């Protein structure tokens, strides 16, 4: 789960009906809640277990479909992808991560 900090990390934001966006955000719970529009639910990505997808925990019931993410299936609503550090904290995506995510995106 995201920790309360004011440091910035590079993430990929995937909004419904819009191109995916690589940007810097402040690494705190409120930022991630604002991006996904509610309660945070997190999943490690099958393609790389160090990458985490944060989505709206109620998105399946409240949000429109966004995109299929591997074996996780259809993700509803906006979501954000971060890299998980050794201490379980969010860290910036690497250039390799970004290239992998762009290649895997089905938008």
pLDDT tens, residue by residue, 30-77: 999 999 999 999 999 988 889 999 999 999 899 999 999 988 999 999
CB-CB contact of 6 with 28 (8 Å):
yes
**DSSP run (H or E) holding 9:** strand 8-14
- Whole-structure pTM value: 0.90
Return the domain boundaries, the chain.
8-104
Residue 76 β-bridge partners? 65
């Amino acid at each position: 789960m995201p920790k309360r900090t004011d440091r910035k990390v590079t993430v990929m934001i995937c909004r419904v009906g819009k191109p995916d966006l690589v940007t810097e955000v402040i690494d705190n719970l409120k930022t991630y809640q604002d991006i996904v529009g509610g309660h945070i639910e997190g999943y490690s990505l099958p393609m790389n277990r160090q990458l985490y997808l944060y989505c709206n925990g109620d998105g399946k019931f409240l949000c429109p479909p966004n995109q299929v993410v591997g074996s996780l299936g259809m993700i509803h609503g906006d979501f954000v992808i971060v890299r998980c550090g050794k201490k379980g904290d969010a860290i910036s995506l690497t250039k390799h991560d970004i290239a992998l995510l762009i290649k895997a995106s089905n938008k």
